[in-house]
Amino acid sequence: MCGINGVFRTGNNKVQYSRQVESMNIALQHRGPDDSGVYSDKNISLGHQRLAIIDLSSDGHQPFLSVDQNFVIVYNGELYNYQDIKSQIKDYPFQTNTDTEVILAAYISLGADCLKLFNGMFSFAIWNKEKKELFIARDRVGIKPLYYSIQDTCIVFSSEIRALLASEEVPRKLNKLALPEYLQYQTVHAPNTIIEDVSVLLPGSYARVIGNKITIEKYWDPTKHINPSVLSHSKKEVVDNVAKLLTESVERRMISDVPFGAFLSGGIDSSLIVGLMNKITTKPVNTFSITFDDQKFSEAKYSNIVAKHFKTNHNEIQLKVKNFIDELPNALESMDHPSGDGPNSYLVSKATKTAGITVALSGLGGDELFAGYSIFKQASDVNSKSYLNNIPVNFRKLFAQLYARTARGVSGEKISEVLSLPKIATKYLYPTYRKALLNRQVNDLTGPNSAERINLLGQFTPLNRNVYLPLLSEVSVYELSTYMQNTLLRDTDQMSMASALEVRVPFLDHQLVEYVLSVSDEIKYPLTPKSLLIDSFKGLVPNEVIYRKKMGFVLPWTKWLKNELREFCVDRMESIEKRGIFEGGVVIQLWNSFLKNDPKVSWSRVWHIVVLEDWLQRNNIEA
């Protein structure tokens, strides 16, 4: 796991960019403290910060050159099947035992088609000196980031936005067009970002850059890998296949030359991962969880049950208010892109790294893939009420307005918005479900109709209509393409890499994803959330954990924002009000509504605005 950078001159000026890339490397030192390197040619400079995981020797130094010196690679991530691929490449004289050289050799041999062989999480760039061609690529699901910016005379790319800004080629300017989307969803969805003229390469994509022309292609789309024959599989076949695929995924992700462990929240997903790790290794698994004095927010009871059951080397991070307040500035400093979440990931990652662990496995992705969120049941319920589409939309809107006046809380207003949709169907329901601020609130902040211009539907991975996709799998695709990719994975990467900790996610192995998306709804969710996952591993995890009430990994934010963090929040709310990017006085009104316990303004409706202002200040962004 590492950080990569590059500046590619698109014009005829043959200036070397080594100084700029050195500055970019400095901005990424936290991602790779073990080694640093820069390569410069006439029109390009490439930079790398290394966190050594596999082959800890100097053979892993990057930028890495091919044997004939014609190709140069900088690479961030892990290729789990690199030994298998290496054995298939017969015409390359390998000099090292690194996965970096395998990626380079595979590209030399197969070009972009090499990506179809890779099982892992990665972003990388390869420079072809002879053709003067730059090739950049990102893993299928989007676990590892890759940002880029096209300027007048160059293209700049990096693992983090802050490194792009450090190049001094990218203006520090807020993307005002993306502001309504950030307010509504607590993030900005790929390919856009919160910074003007900075994009993120979409998951499952690659780009070729020749001269001043960039061509982007998609090499993987989950909906194009649906296997219709899986629909005819018996439940036993499906359960056996899921068990096999997830077990193999965990086993692959335990390959490491450094100490590894696992995040253990006490929920089903993380507990299953720990249980599988325990079956695979003969040594006690190192596990880490956050606990609280306030039992309403603490999952310590369940994480301890799992830890004792599997005899893990368990580490509790006991979080008190003072601990959190002390660490909050560091967590916010580590945020590469503003978000409504993240500090919890920062805290558990820092404690894990402090304990001497360099690689940690996470249960992220289990809810998205195995129908663990309430949206899956809601989508099914809405699908059964398609008769409502027989009611003219104007009548539905009128009823929605009447309902909104009497409804309490955010859920009431969301139901009102759903009733007003052009069509009551899953693809329209989903964007409403994931909203932090409602249309009315966004319009109040950024002007009339600004919320209506947000097109989350356009961000979805296009559904391949040539193949039948079960309803719950359709929702999973929405989750994978939006919330998971642009919030959960981004936060996990930036907060774990702040402590030079590599986080691996077995649930997001592309072979497992493709298979589970092909499974029928009846087998996936016959009665309760994640039924298929539970049935696939019966007896592995204690029933007390399997049948507990879902809680989620949350912090007592409401209490903290109204007390210990109140001054911090007020300062930033007042500061962002002065920037003039919102309608006058509305930000403060929103904050006051939160303080007055307005049921339609929870802590998550104001915190991401506080974070945005803090991020703008820290990064000197012009609004």
**236 pLDDT higher than 90:** yes
For 3-46, what is the HEC assignment? EEEEEEECCCCCCCCHHHHHHHHHHCCCCCECEEEEEECCCEEE
Q: Cα–Cα distance between 117 and 113 in angstroms, integer?
A: 8
Which residues fall within 8 angstroms of residue 546, CB to CB, at 6 or more apart? 268, 534
467 against 210, higher pLDDT: 210
Instruction: Annotate 28-56 with b (16+ C-beta within 10 A) or e (fewer).
Output: bebbbeeebbbbbbebbbbbbbbbbbbee
Instruction: Provide the pairing of β-strand 44-50 with 133-138.
Output: unpaired
Question: Which residues are CB-contacts of 476 (< 8 A; sequence separation ≥ 6)?
Answer: 368, 369, 371, 516, 517
259-289 confidence digits (pLDDT tens): 899 999 889 999 999 999 999 999 999 999 9
Q: What is the pLDDT of residues 157-175, one digit of tens each?
A: 999 999 999 999 999 999 9
Query: Crossing angle, helix 409-419 and helix 426-433, to 10 degrees?
Result: 150
Residues in a beta bridge with 361? 262, 504
Q: What does the alpha-carbon distance between residue 43 and residue 7 come to, in Å, rounded to a whole number?
A: 8
Half-sphere exposure at residue 261, Cβ-oriented, CA atoms within 13 angstroms: 22
pLDDT value of position 15: 57
Query: How many angstroms separate the CA atoms of 162 and 336, rounded?
Result: 6
Confidence (pLDDT) at 465: 62
Q: Which residues are catalytic?
A: 2
Report which of 282, 187, 283, 220 is spatially closest to residue 509, judged by C-alpha positions. Answer: 220
- Sheet with 147-150, strands from edge to edge, namely 35-40, 44-50, 2-9, 154-158, 147-150, 199-200
**What's the confidence (pLDDT) of residue 425?**
80
User: Is the per-residue pLDDT at 557 higher than 90?
Assistant: no
What is the rounded CA–CA span in Å between residue 528 and residue 331? 36
Q: Bridge-partner residues for 360, per DSSP?
A: 261, 503
Neighbours of 540 (CB within 10 A): 18
C-alpha distances in angstroms, 116 versus 209, 221, 230, 266, 281?
A: 20, 11, 21, 35, 29
Confidence (pLDDT) at 42: 84
The length of the chain is: 623
User: What 8-state DSSP symbol labels residue 229?
Assistant: G
Give the whole-number percent of the chain exceeding pLDDT 70: 94
SS (H, E, C) 372-409: CCHHHHHHHHHHCCHHHHHCCHHHHHHHHHHHHHHCCH
Q: Which residues is 8 bridged to in the sheet?
A: 44, 155
Q: What is the pLDDT of residues 606-615, one digit of tens each?
A: 999 999 999 9
First to last CA, the chain: 33
- As a whole number of angstroms, the distance between CA 75 and CA 105 comes to 13
Token code pair at residue 547? 């049948």
pLDDT in tens, 468-524: 789 999 999 999 999 999 999 999 999 999 999 999 999 999 999 999 999 999 999
Quote the CA–CA distance of 203 and 220 in Å, as a whole number. Answer: 8
Omega of the bond prior to 63 within 30 degrees of 0, cis? yes
Does 461 have pLDDT greater than 70? Answer: no
pLDDT at 294: 62
Residue 486 DSSP one-character state: I
Contact 515, 524 (CB under 8 A): no
* Range with lowest mean pLDDT among 55-69, 113-127, 510-524: 55-69
Instruction: For residues 243 and 259, give the distance between their C-alpha atoms in angstroms, rounded to a whole number.
Output: 26
Q: Is the pLDDT of residue 553 over 90?
A: no
Strand partners, 156: 7, 149
Please tell me the distance from the alpha carbon of residue 567 to that of residue 258, in angstroms, as a whole number: 42
Confidence (pLDDT) at 504: 97
Return d(Cα 478, Cα 368) in angstroms, integer. 9
> Parallel, antiparallel, or unpaired for β 502-504 and 359-361?
parallel
Nearest to 128, CA basis, from 190, 62, 69? 69
Please, what's the largest Cα pairwise distance for the chain?
73
